[in-house]
Amino acid sequence: MMKTMKRRNFTMLSALALVTCLGTLSCTQPTSPTSPAAAETNATKAATKTTTKTVDLTISVAASVQDAMKAVQEAYQDEAPNAAITYNFGSSGSLAQQISQGAPTDVFLSASQQWMDDLEEQGQILAGSRQNLLLNSLVMITPQDNADITDFSDFETDKVTKLAMGEPESVPAGRYAKEALTAMNMFEALQPKLVFGKDVRQVLSYVETGNVDAGLVYATDAKISDQVQIVATAPADTHSPIIYPVGVVADSEHAEAAQAFVNFLSSDTAVKIFEEYGFAMAE
């Protein structure tokens, strides 16, 4: 009898405790502390979020390299997905002037050593970042269907009434063209026939559309167009070496990322792209 009563009392107490537990939730299992693995995962996510911050780079590039550099940009996104590249294409002289006047720029790729020299003398190029990157050549082009013009000597004949070239004071291709024509004793005599372009791509366009009979551009520009033909190449000793230097702009707010991009331009991946577009490497 006594055992039966104790058993009943225990059952009643257990039931009462269960009701109390459900009512107050005081019997809920305590939450286990965060495991070391989970803590590490959270820390890694936080670190990743910090290190994946996008860096915006503005790259000023000579017009003659724009097609190759667009391909380089695609390749670089795989290499550095957190770098957002914005290109500013134009004549090297105009781009150098913009940088000199304080235009926000991280990297400058020039078609002329002269403009890079000027910026370097002004302290506008980060010390130690400059390097010679590419080589090119100067060629004479005509519209694809023109079979009459075959040599530089034709410039002084009636076969050529309009000859396009870059503006020598601001367009490196124009300066090289002036040097070549001067070396051939033609430049002064050709003044009435000359049509000047704001950059080498405008000169190419003049020839493609037939607005001029011939033009002087880089070999790489002629290579990308199926509307023009190369008639002759200017002898290398008639003009200065066509070298493309590149460097980080001293006022860049992202100098480290800018230098990383410059370094990539000499990588096997970039070299292959430049060569596909007709450039030779300077180094």
- Pick out the residues of the known binding site for molybdate: 64, 92, 173, 200, 218
The owner of tokens 């002084």 is: 156
Residue 75 in tokens: 């390749």
- Cα distances from 54 to residues 77, 142, 250, in angstroms, run 12, 45, 21
Gap between the Cα atoms of 230 and 214, Å rounded: 10
Gap between the Cα atoms of 245 and 109, Å rounded: 6
Gap between the Cα atoms of 220 and 63, Å rounded: 11
Q: Are 271 and 130 in contact (CB under 8 A)?
A: no
How far is the first Cα of the chain from the last one, in angstroms, to the nearest whole number? 106
Gap between the Cα atoms of 113 and 57, Å rounded: 22
Q: Are 108 and 100 in contact (CB under 8 A)?
A: no
β-pair partners for 194: 163
Closest to 203 (Cα-Cα) out of 228, 238, 231, 182: 228
